[in-house]
Amino acid sequence: MENIPQFGTKTESAEYIDRPGVYAIVTNQEGDIAVVEVNERYFLLGGGLDAGETAEQGLKREIMEETGKGIQSATFLGKANQYVDAKDGYFNKFATFYKVDLGEDVSASSELDHKFKWITKEEFKSKGAQEFQIWAVENLITEKEKATIQKNFPELNINSIRLAGEGMNSKAFIVNDNLIFRFSKVEEASEQLKMEIEILPKLRNSITLSIPDFEYIGKQANGLPFVGYKKIQGVGLDKEILENLNYELRSKLLNEISDFIQQVHEFPLEMAKLSGIKVRGFREDYSSDLKDLRKHAFHLLDENTKEYIERIYGEYLSNGSNFTYTPVFLHADFSPEHIIYDEQKQTISGVIDFGDIEIGDPDYDLMYLYERWGEALIKELLKYYPHKDEAHLLRKLEFFSRANTTQDVLIGIFRKDNGILDWALEKLKKEVV
Per-position DSSP letters for 121-170, written without gaps between them: HHHHHHHBS-HHHHHHHHHT--HHHHHHHHHH-TT---S-EEEEEE-SSE
pLDDT of residue 164: 80
Nearest CA among 90, 86, 81, 103 for reference residue 3:
81
Query: What residues does 433 pair with on adjacent strands?
Result: none
Location of each CATH 3.90.1200.10 domain in the chain: 235-432
Location of each CATH 3.90.79.10 domain in the chain: 6-129
Domain spanning 235-432 has what CATH number? Answer: 3.90.1200.10
Domain spanning 143-230 has what CATH number? Answer: 3.30.200.20
Q: What are the per-10-residue average pLDDT scores of the chain (433 residues)?
A: 79 90 86 87 94 94 91 87 89 92 78 82 87 88 87 94 80 92 90 93 95 97 94 94 96 97 97 94 98 98 97 98 98 96 96 95 98 96 95 98 96 85 90 88
Location of each CATH 3.30.200.20 domain in the chain: 143-230
Fold topology of 6-129: Nucleoside Triphosphate Pyrophosphohydrolase (3.90.79)
Q: Where are the beta strands (DSSP E) in 147-244?
A: 161-166, 170-175, 179-184, 214-219, 225-230, 235-236
pLDDT of residue 1: 42
Question: Which DSSP helix (H) or strand (E) runs through 119?
Answer: strand 115-119
Helices (H), 281-355: 282-292, 303-317
pLDDT of residue 115: 87
Query: What residues does 117 pair with on adjacent strands?
Result: 35
Do residues 354 and 212 touch, judged by C-beta distance below 8 A? yes
The alpha carbon of 230 is separated from its chain's Cα centroid by a whole number of angstroms, namely 20
Non-local (6+) Cβ contacts of 112 within 8 A are none
Query: What residues does 36 pair with on adjacent strands?
Result: 43, 116
pLDDT of residue 93: 94
Residue burial 187-202, b: 16+ Cβ < 10 Å; e: rest: eebbebbebbeebbee
